[in-house]
Amino acid sequence: MSVTDDPICPICGLLFASDILADVRHHKKFHDVHVNGPKTKMPEGIHLILPHSPLRDRLVAQEAASLLSRELNFRLPYCATSF
Of 12 and 65, which CB lies nearer to Zn ion in the complex structure?
12
Q: Which stretch binds Zn ion (CB under 5 A): 3-11, 42-50, 53-61, 65-73?
A: 3-11
Closest CA to 37 of 63, 57, 62, 16: 63
Q: How far apart are the first and last CA of the chain?
A: 46
Total binding residues for Zn ion by CB under 5 A? 4
Verify binding: residue 26, Zn ion, rule CB under 5 A. no
Verify binding: residue 12, Zn ion, rule CB under 5 A. yes
Q: Which stretch binds Zn ion (CB under 5 A): 5-13, 17-25, 38-46, 60-68?
A: 5-13
Beta carbons within 8 Å of 12's beta carbon, 6+ residues apart: 27, 30, 31, 34, 35
Say if CB 68 and CB 76 are below 8 A apart: yes
Verify binding: residue 31, Zn ion, rule CB under 5 A. yes
Give the footprint of Zn ion on this chain (CB under 5 A): 9, 11-12, 31
